[in-house]
Chain A
């Protein structure tokens, strides 16, 4: 993990803005993501030159151009291995990967699960708008079944990926979810992702105003969002609702939504969120909750300490170097069976 306290930088969000004109559509959720990221980084006090923003292809993947840090705009689906190579080459860097639902889960699906499995210390921000935006509106692996798009004129017939379940299924140690316009929650989540040592996977529910506007309406509009989302914070009870009168309990090994005062339930019955529980069972269920039976969970759902790939590699190098007699290429060339003429 990158050092966090080398010197006092006193950054402000503006320090992370590059001179490039931001070219996302007006009203796109990406603007909010960019702004909250820049603000979060300014509050972290990590030297700017240690950041690398890596991306694949798609609207989300333009983000590195707008960050005044080192940046690498890669090719479709391949941000994860590029980020992995950067982190292995220099573990002192803080590597962020910007990706979307098509980039990470369709063409880059293989790399996505393997990065998570390895637990290499990179921060993945996945912009989930459930659509292909840059190619102008085809369905993605997270599009809801039945969605009518240009390539599914009669509705999709595919089941969609649930990003949280996929992450935890690939032995993800950190999974969080936030919403593009919610700058406060996003700021909190991005900072926790930054400080997490390992693969930190953040799903951002993001609205594409042009090709899938309102896909997340039930969890984003003012009227319904508080009743349809549950913000999880470690150590806090799982209470939600406009009037904060609903909660989650575990009953018969299943999560259940209760309303305080109904059927004898009170606030005291509600589960308390433990993001650090290594057993993934409850996190898997929380991450997988969806409307209409459950609220959609937001915040840091899972965050467990484990060995990272980069640390394990460093440890192995130290161990082998201590044991080996070969310290230079000259010595390597002369090792084993040789003879003199």
Chain B
């Protein structure tokens, strides 16, 4: 039996795995996250990686990181600062030095701290002294040497042997957290089932790391985070892209429709198309189109033919789709467009996160072009908002843009699996053959949605298209008709407000300050405000998931506060949108555009500053 000399009981701990892209850090982080989740911790993860597949080795630009926050209580963010850093080389230390908590533990591969590697990382001398990290718990492990030693009798080639280094590091972290190795061992067996040498080597190195950590325990504290007390049910880990895809599949099943996705690969949205391509078992039809435009146009075609049609993309692809999105606006066909936002403009920061496509979604098209705009708040939330986006698109016969982002797409969290019987029904407004002529643009008096007749339905033949039409579907350039159609399309999108849930205030309904977030700001805003409340500040928070139309109680909520501050990862797009929609308030802004999510700390600091300015 192992003896633990010093165990730190904590409510939550943040661990960051960091190394060269290609060192297997994403896998290591994912395995640790799942193991923690299976143990019962709440978790939130944040992969942070370069856009190059194999960036120059040993450089700060090539560092790939995976941060996971595990908690005994509810965890809303991947954490601001790491308590434990696993650094496979000096560049990983350099890249992460400023994201470390006080007194954190750094486990590093001392074999990689050669003079050459230290210089490559941009250090002149001792990295830990240069970055003032010498007060941390430093655990120098000669991982390369130990891995070679552990596998000295293996028949594997030297390159493959070195590729198991990540498992050694993972083994050490497992010891540090007193975790079980079983899930990872099962995973290794499953993954390398056909390569027994690789399976054996990875398992062996994983255990070698674990026992090595035990042997050297005297120099480090180990952590204990008890299982979280969360709602009963069946749970799984899910990331935002997977949740988005599954939410759409759920909506198709609920609506009794076939799902069609037409997309073009683009970071960080590709995972949605990949997931759909797998789901032929559920009848999902996926087309990897020749370009972004073909992606959305094929989806519009599929929608015309009666499918729940989807296209997924990121900012640059969304720009290419804008003309076709207007075709869906004009033809009033149901369509879900997912924009997994990344840093822009142009190619920008393909693998980093940002919320700067809000205006593009709201306004980035010619003519008066109303669409419903929504934004998911957490990785698992993507399931519900994708479902809701599809429900609104179908019931109102309108395109819906769902904004997620790189942070949500790649981040994961435990998710209490819903039952399909608990999901709301979706009522598709099918046209039926009657004695009356079918009028393609005849509308429901309340929703203003038109009836959906699809090819194959006898007697309902009609034409739609991008030209302005009369209610009968005939082309019309009549001034009054155009104005009427422009207004009714707008009113239709505004009518969706009837189905938008009220904003929920986190905290009291009146107070000194309301912190406003939207979409993926959720976790950081909630964490910051909850902590401020615990510290006695009179602060509340709201997070918007419906952007157009806004929730009906928006003004009522705003009325309760002396000051409003909008936190978003752009230069103030939502704040300015609110200035148009609700003009009587003064909106303060807290913005960040670094390709990174907020930290709860910086939001807190800003709020405290605002509260002190009387």
Contacts and interface: CB of A to CB of B under 8 A. Distances in A.
Is B one of A's binding partners? yes
Which of B34, B298, B457, B466 has the most chain A CB atoms closer than 10 A to its own CB? Answer: B298
A83 B253 contact: no
Contact of B455 (A86, A336, A340): A86
A272 interface: no
A337 interface: yes
What is the interface of chain B mostly: helix, strand, loop, or mixed?
mixed
B298 A85 contact: yes
A268 B250 CA distance: 66
A336 B236 contact: yes
9 contacts: A50-B455, A54-B301, A71-B461, A85-B298, A89-B305, A90-B307, A110-B291, A111-B294, A313-B285
Contacts of B459: 49
A85 B287 contact: yes
Contact of A82 (B34, B38, B298): B298
B306 A48 contact: no
Interface in B21-47: 34, 37-38, 40
A182 interface: no
Contacts of B40: 339, 341
B209 to A, nearest CB: 22
Contacts of A54: 301
B474 A20 contact: yes
Interface in A282-323: 313, 316-317, 320-321, 323
Given A328-B420, A333-B418, A72 B281 contact: no
B463 interface: yes
B456 A90 contact: yes
Given A70-B455, A75-B466, A93-B456, 8 more contacts: A49-B460, A49-B461, A52-B455, A57-B466, A73-B463, A114-B289, A337-B38, A341-B232
Interface of B: 34, 37-38, 40, 183, 230-237, 246, 249-250, 253, 258, 260, 262, 279-283, 285, 287, 289-291, 293-295, 297-307, 309, 323-324, 327, 331, 416-420, 454-467, 474-475
A324 interface: yes
Contacts of A68: 461
Contacts of A90: 305-307, 454-456
Contact of B463 (A72, A78, A81, A337): A72
A64 B331 CA distance: 15
A334 B280 CA distance: 17
Contact of B285 (A49, A89, A321, A341): A89
A182 B416 CA distance: 67
Contact of A114 (B253, B290, B299): B290
A330 interface: yes
Given A69-B461, A334-B417, A86 B246 contact: no
B76 to A, nearest CB: 18
Interface string A47-60: 11111101001000
A20 B249 CA distance: 39
B305 A65 contact: no
A337 B31 CA distance: 12
B282 to A, nearest CB: 7
Contact of B417 (A49, A114, A333): A333
Contacts of A336: 236
A88 B285 contact: yes
A84 B291 CA distance: 13
B305 A85 contact: yes
A72 B304 contact: yes
Interface in A30-63: 47-52, 54, 57
A15 to B, nearest CB: 11
Given A82-B297, A82-B298, A85-B287, A330 B465 contact: no
B461 A70 contact: yes
A89 to B, nearest CB: 4
Contacts of A341: 40, 230-235, 416
Nearest to A64: B463
Interface in A73-111: 73-75, 78, 80-90, 92-93, 110-111
Interface of A: 18, 20, 47-52, 54, 57, 64-65, 68-75, 78, 80-90, 92-93, 110-111, 114, 313, 316-317, 320-321, 323-324, 326-330, 332-334, 336-341
A70 B462 contact: yes
A328 B282 contact: yes
Contact of A110 (B283, B290, B462, B463): B290
B54 to A, nearest CB: 29
Contacts of B419: 330
Contact of B234 (A65, A93, A329, A340): A340
B474 A316 contact: no
Which of A73, A78, A85, A339 has the most chain B CB atoms closer than 10 A to its own CB? Answer: A85
A281 B353 CA distance: 51
Contacts of A73: 463-467
B283 A317 contact: yes
Contacts of B331: 72
A74 B327 contact: yes
Given A85-B298, A85-B299, A88-B285, A328 B463 contact: no
Contacts of B34: 337
A338 B235 CA distance: 5
A114 B291 CA distance: 10
A88 B287 contact: yes
B294 A88 contact: no
B448 to A, nearest CB: 22
A332 B418 CA distance: 11
B246 A329 contact: yes
Nearest to A68: B461
A330 B420 contact: yes
Contacts of A110: 290-291, 294
Contacts of B307: 89-90
A78 B324 contact: yes
Given A49-B455, A85-B305, A86-B305, A72 B464 contact: yes
A332 B474 CA distance: 44
Nearest to B262: A85
B301 A72 contact: yes
B297 A85 contact: yes
Nearest to A57: B466
A203 to B, nearest CB: 21
A323 to B, nearest CB: 8
B506 to A, nearest CB: 23
Contacts of B417: 333-334, 338
Contacts of B183: 337
Which of A74, A327, A340 has the most chain B CB atoms closer than 10 A to its own CB? Answer: A74
Nearest to A92: B456
A321 B459 CA distance: 34
Contacts of A49: 455-461
A337 B304 contact: no
Contact of A88 (B37, B297, B302): B302
A122 to B, nearest CB: 10
A334 B234 CA distance: 8
B458 A89 contact: no
A110 B291 CA distance: 8
B294 to A, nearest CB: 4
